[in-house]
A and B are shown apart, each in its own frame.
Chain A
Amino acid sequence: MSSVELIELSVRAGAKVLVSNVSLAIEPGTWCTIIGPNGAGKTTLVETIAGLRRPSHGSVSILGQPVAAMNERERAHRVALVPQHPVVPAGMSVYDYVALGRVAHHGLFHPPSAGDRRVVESVLERLSLVDFRQRDVATLSGGERQRMVLARALTQSTMVVVLDEPITGLDLRHQMDLLELLKSEVHECGLTIVATLHDLTLAGQFADRLVLLDGGEMVLDGAAATVIRSDELAQHYGMALRVVDVDGADVVVPVRHTPHVNGA
Chain B
Amino acid sequence: MALVAAGTVVALFVAIVCGLVIGPTSVPTWRVVGDIFAHVGIGHNTLTPLQSTVVWTLRAPRMVIGLLAGSMLAVAGGTYQGVFRNPLADPYLLGVASGAGLGATFAIIDISHGNGTPTWTPLLAFVGAMGAVIVTWLIGGRSMRSNTSTLILAGVAVASLLTSAQTFLQQQSSAGSITRVYIWLLGSLASAGWGTVWLVLPYVVVCIIICVGAGRALDVMSVGEDESRSLGVPVRRVRFIVIAASSLGTAAIVSAVGLIGFVGIIVPHIVRLLVGTSYRRILPISVIFGAAFLVFADTIARTVIAPSELPLGVVTALIGAPVFVIILSLRRPVAV
Contacts and interface: CB of A to CB of B under 8 A. Distances in A.
Nearest to A104: B232
Contact of A73 (B213, B216, B232): B232
Interface string B204-218: 000000000110110
A176 interface: no
B229 to A, nearest CB: 5
A120 B237 CA distance: 27
Contact of B231 (A92, A96, A100, A138): A100
Nearest to B237: A72
B173 interface: no
Interface string A42-58: 00000100111000000
Contact of A89 (B213, B214, B335): B335
B278 interface: yes
Nearest to B238: A108
Contacts of A101: 231
A200 interface: no
Contacts, number: 77
A100 B220 contact: yes
A189 B227 CA distance: 23
Nearest to A53: B226
Interface string B161-201: 00000000000000000000000000000000000000000
Contact of A91 (B214, B230, B231, B276): B276
A118 to B, nearest CB: 19
Interface residues of A, number: 32
Interface string A140-164: 0000000000001000100000000
25 contacts: A50-B230, A51-B230, A72-B233, A72-B234, A73-B234, A75-B230, A75-B232, A76-B230, A76-B231, A76-B232, A77-B232, A81-B230, A83-B230, A87-B222, A90-B335, A91-B277, A91-B335, A96-B278, A100-B219, A100-B220, A100-B223, A101-B231, A103-B216, A108-B214, A138-B335
Interface of A: 47, 50-52, 71-73, 75-77, 79-81, 83, 86-92, 96-97, 100-101, 103-104, 108-109, 138, 152, 156
